[in-house]
Structure 1
């Protein structure tokens, strides 16, 4: 929240110990983001692309996830990231 810029090579990750349905809104976020929802097996369940700044309606995972990775809006398309891809950060 309260971000007005995000470098193309930066992001934020939110980890959950137990798989759960995740929901994020854009309140007090001033730039579009791509929200990448990650399953327990490390594959991408869905991507909310170019989220609308300041929107109160939530963006949700379509199934239980163990992580959500937020990057600058449009970056997932630029990098060719898509549903089903495997994510690794360790």
Structure 2
């Protein structure tokens, strides 16, 4: 990363992101004190960002996620993005539980699409979805939200169905 090109705002956003997630030496993003909902400002795309925590057994991991809250934000999702950091993602909260179906049209990078029940437990994970695919990827039951992470990250971190996801929108 060329820090000269980031500028002051980019450095400030990077510092906020790093402050929201303590990275251990092994490169994972396991944190003992993950505080869901901690504000992290706005993303480069202009979306509100918050801290989201995924608990898998005794391990809790923190992610700085963009909130796709409006229908326009949800329709765009992570389309056209060329990278997604290991401690970043996007969450799509729904006002009411529903069957969720996503596709990868105009999505350049593979994603893990994580379907989250209203109680915060993971219903299922579609791992390493295929970029540009128009084949729908769907939940197996009505869900309250969908979380998208870098493709393959769920398996790398041991995140699976039944684990817990927490965040709080402002």
For normalisation by structure 1, the TM-score amounts to 0.97
How many residue pairs are counted as aligned between the two chains? 90
Distance 2:137 2:81 in 1: 17
**Which has the higher Rg, Structure 1 or Structure 2?**
2
Distance 1:41 1:68 in 2: 13
Q: 1:4: which partner in 2?
A: 82
Unaligned runs of 5+ in 2: 1-78
Q: Structure 1 stretches (4+) deviating beyond 4 angstroms?
A: none
Q: 1:61: which partner in 2?
A: 139
Distance 2:152 2:136 in 1: 18
Distance 1:39 1:22 in 2: 11
Q: CA deviation at 1:42?
A: 0.6
Distance 1:89 1:80 in 2: 19
Is 2:78 aligned against 1:17? no
Higher relative contact order (CA 8 A, sep 6+): 1
State the Cα deviation string for residues 27-73 of structure 1 (Å, max 9, x = none). Answer: 00011000000001110000000000000001001000010000000
Distance 2:82 2:108 in 1: 5
More helix by share: 2
Alpha carbon RMSD of aligned pairs, Å? 0.6
Q: Which secondary structure state, in structure 2, belongs to the residue aligned with residue 87 of structure 1?
A: strand
Distance 1:5 1:71 in 2: 11
Distance 2:80 2:132 in 1: 10
